[in-house]
């Protein structure tokens, strides 16, 4: 397996370009320090009426987000409709986002594919496009075979080959697969795996991950604004939150209140964010998120088929979730 991996790395080097070549493929050396603390919106991909990626709308959103104290941005996550993008579109989005945002903003790119080989290749290409870290979702198509051993093997191979740090990504609502705790604890010891985005919403699990990895250079990110306060209380360092595409200032304010220990104000703000967060994640999904973005002056754009726009009744329900909490 090691020989095959070296051969694959050699084949990838012509694709990596100067940026990744400067970083060098990971070779088991000292851990890369990457401070993940802060709030990251998982960017949506605006589509035009013709079904093409609206790159100019994406860039305009980024300029508007420049007024908000985000730590960085996530591309190619669930909210970016990644399964519906071509490889060329994925790489062009990463390149354009990197060129638009300030250098001090981290760019986390989703690189997870179903096979280990494809994930390694995509990670190398995203690194050359300017990504600072790879957000790698669990492979799930053959979920019955995705044991802890299989997942440890997968992520280890990816992290060994990756020219950028790797962040684990567990999102059972979309994959039907929760990255097992024992697998996370094993992978947390890898020098090129720096953290996890946990979107499951199980605070006991998040607390246990923080507790069990406190001696490792490993960071936990809450995967939703709905449990961001609880995440901070148990030791998460930040959040990748869909709602930050709409209420970015408020989500960052919640982070600041938690950092300051202003728990009463933080609790009040968290309560007001729960219903709109649920609306743009669980109830109405990405079409709801994009519709809400339009109300707040951002470019949500259309979704790509087979996702459908909201019905009139759904739009009313979405608006109610924002107005009842004082945001509209």
- Evaluate whether residue 319 is within a structural domain: no
DSSP letter for each residue of 60-124: HHHHHHTTS--SEEEESSGGGTGGGS-HHHHHHHHHHHHHHS-TTSEEEEE---SSHHHHHHHHH
pLDDT score, position 299: 98
Range of the domain at 101: 2-274
Q: What confidence tier does 5 reach under pLDDT thresholds 50, 70, 90?
A: very low
**Predicted structure pTM score:** 0.90
**Per mean pLDDT, which range of 41-45, 181-185, 215-219, 294-298 is the poorest?**
215-219
**Could you give the C-alpha distances from 154 to 79, 158, 221, 295, in angstroms and in order?**
24, 6, 21, 41
Count: domains in the chain: 1
**Given this model, what pLDDT does residue 61 score?**
98
Q: What is the spatial distance between Cα 121 and Cα 124, in angstroms, rounded to a whole number?
A: 5
49, 197, 212, 290: the active-site residue: 197
Which CA distances in Å does 41 have to 107, 109, 313? 11, 12, 27
Question: Tokens representing 188?
Answer: 């947390």
Residue 280 belongs to a domain: no
Report the chain's mean pLDDT, rounded to a whole number: 92
What mean pLDDT do residues 192-215 have? 96
Q: Could you report the per-residue pLDDT of 261-288, keeping only the tens digit for each? A: 999 999 999 999 999 999 999 999 999 9
CATH number at residue 266: 3.20.20.70
Residue 32's pLDDT band (cuts 50, 70, 90): low
Q: Is residue 227 part of a domain?
A: yes
Residue 48 maps to a domain: yes
Asked if residue 296 is part of any domain, the answer here is no
pLDDT at 60 over 80: yes
In a domain, 183, yes or no: yes
pLDDT of 27 strictly over 60: no
Tell whether 307 is covered by a domain: no
Running DSSP on this structure, what letter comes out for residue 298? S
Structure tokens at 204: 């006991």
- pLDDT confidence band for 153 (50 / 70 / 90): very high
Give φ, ψ of 8 to 5 degrees.
-65, -40
Model confidence at 33, pLDDT cuts 50, 70, 90, reads confident
pLDDT of amino acid 54: 97
Q: pLDDT by residue (tens digit) across 84-128?
A: 999 999 999 999 999 999 999 999 999 999 999 999 999 999 999
In the residue annotation, 33 being an active-site residue is answered as no
Query: How far apart are alpha carbons 292 and 318 in whole angstroms?
Result: 8
The CB density around residue 204, as the number of other CB atoms within 10 Å, is 8
Q: Is residue 17 part of a domain?
A: yes
Q: What percentage of the chain exceeds 70 in pLDDT?
A: 90
Quick one: pLDDT at residue 20? 43
Q: What is the pLDDT of residue 125?
A: 98
pLDDT at position 215 is 84
């Amino acid at each position: 397996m090691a020989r095959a991996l070296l051969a694959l790395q050699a084949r990838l080097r012509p694709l990596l370009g100067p940026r990744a070549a400067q970083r060098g493929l990971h070779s088991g050396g000292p851990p890369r320090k990457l401070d993940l603390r802060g709030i990251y919106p998982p960017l949506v991909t605006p589509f035009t009426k013709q079904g093409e990626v609206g790159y100019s709308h994406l860039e305009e959103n980024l300029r508007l987000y420049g007024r908000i104290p985000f730590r960085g941005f996530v591309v190619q996550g669930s909210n970016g409709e990644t399964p519906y993008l071509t490889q060329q579109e994925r790489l062009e989005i990463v390149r354009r986002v990197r060129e638009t945002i300030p250098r001090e903003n981290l760019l986390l790119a989703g690189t997870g594919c179903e096979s280990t080989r494809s994930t390694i290749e995509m990670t190398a290409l995203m690194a050359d496009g300017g990504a600072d870290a790879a957000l790698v979702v669990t492979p799930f198509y053959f979920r019955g075979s995705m044991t802890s051993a299989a997942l440890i093997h997968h992520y280890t191979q990816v992290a060994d080959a990756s020219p950028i740090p790797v962040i684990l990504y567990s999102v059972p609502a979309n994959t039907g697969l929760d990255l097992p705790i024992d697998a996370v604890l094993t992978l947390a010891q890898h020098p090129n795996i720096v953290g996890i985005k946990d979107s499951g919403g199980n605070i006991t699990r998040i607390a246990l991950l923080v507790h069990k990895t406190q001696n490792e250079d490993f960071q936990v990110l809450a995967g939703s604004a709905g449990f961001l306060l609880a995440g901070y209380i148990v030791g998460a360092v930040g959040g990748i939150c869909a709602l930050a595409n709409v209420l970015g200032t408020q989500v960052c304010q919640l982070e600041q209140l938690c950092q300051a220990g202003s728990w009463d104000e933080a609790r009040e703000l968290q309560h007001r964010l729960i219903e709109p967060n649920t609306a743009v994640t669980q109830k109405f999904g990405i079409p709801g998120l994009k519709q809400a973005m339009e109300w707040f002056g951002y470019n949500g754009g259309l979704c790509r088929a087979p996702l459908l726009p909201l019905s009139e009744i759904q739009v009313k329900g979405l608006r109610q979730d924002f107005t009842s909490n004082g945001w509209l």
